[in-house]
Amino acid sequence: MNVSRFLCPALLLAAIPLCAQAPAGGRGPGRSTFLVSRPIPDPAAVERGKALFGPSCGFCHGTNATGAEGPDLVRSAIALRDEGGDEIGPVIRAGRPGMPAFPQMTDPQIKDIAAFVRDRQQAAIDRGSYTLKNVNTGDAKRGETYFATHCVTCHSLTKDLKGIGAKYDNAVLLGKIVYPGGRGAAVRSAATVTVAGKVTSGVLEYQDDFEVGLRDSSGEYHGFSKGPGVQIEITEPLAGHVKLMKAFTDRDMHDVLAYLVSMK
């Protein structure tokens, strides 16, 4: 039985679509000139809005608009839809249950606050402006102990990880610890299905409560219904990592990184 199956891509981020940004070269290094479909606000308006937002809104929404007792405005659907205060202005003036009203706010003040919130949204989405800090902050001796306890059953510093510290920079190596198969990459599991004594082996393509499918070395797809007389063996290449990540702390991660970085 040959079965074709498709996986729809997950919709991430916010409740509204984000349009393509214009090429970099806007205000500030690496800043694009557009967020969603609108130009980013004037820096002077952003500064005025920041000065207003802190004492008026920061106690609830955080000084950077990322949330505190109240919601995160960087990801708020209302704030993302806002055009110069048209969405958040009425909320600011009238208030909401649990939120005080600010009827004294003038139109220019609300526009400045909207500019500040828009700038915070731009900063969150503009990956080109992110600064990567030093990630090698762990203790190599602790990392050596952790590695010897949890990792040596699958990895060897004289074989697959020989000279690992010289092959990658720190950030890339940390990424390989967290995403050993590559971020977004499919790490294929091996599957063997035996039906009436006939063995079919290949790469696992699909599995649910009722069916399993694999693709053999020639590229042919084989689908099987689960049930009596159907024996299935699946080898997960990253089973150890999946199990480990449930107990892996941030300190463990950086300690192991520090140890591996020292293996030149």
- Does residue 24 lie within any of the structural domains? no
The reported pLDDT for the residue numbered 253 is 94
Q: How many CB atoms lie within 10 A of CB 228?
A: 4
The total of structural domains in the chain comes to 3
Query: Both 38 and 93 in a single domain?
Result: yes
Query: Both 99 and 198 in a single domain?
Result: no
Burial class for 114, CB neighbours closer than 10 Å (0-12, 13-18, 19+): buried
- Does residue 82 lie within any of the structural domains? yes
- Does residue 10 lie within any of the structural domains? no
- Does residue 4 lie within any of the structural domains? no
What Rg do the C-alpha atoms of the chain give, in angstroms?
Answer: 26
Query: In this structure, what are the phi and psi dihedrals at residue 35, rounded to the nearest 5 degrees?
Result: -125, 130
Q: Which of 182, 175, 148 is nearest to 259 (CA)?
A: 148
Query: Both 179 and 198 in a single domain?
Result: no
pLDDT in tens, the chain (264 residues): 333 333 333 333 333 333 333 333 344 444 444 445 567 789 999 999 999 999 999 989 999 999 988 899 999 999 999 999 999 999 999 998 889 999 999 999 999 999 999 999 988 887 666 677 889 999 999 999 999 999 999 899 999 999 999 999 999 999 888 888 765 555 678 999 999 999 999 999 999 999 999 999 999 999 999 999 999 999 888 888 888 888 999 999 999 999 999 999
Give the whole-angstrom CA distance, residue 66 versus residue 181: 32
Amino acid at 134: N
Burial class for 150, CB neighbours closer than 10 Å (0-12, 13-18, 19+): middle
Q: Are 119 and 113 in contact (CB under 8 A)?
A: no
The reported pLDDT for the residue numbered 260 is 96
This model's pTM is above 0.85: no
Query: Both 65 and 111 in a single domain?
Result: yes
The reported pLDDT for the residue numbered 37 is 52
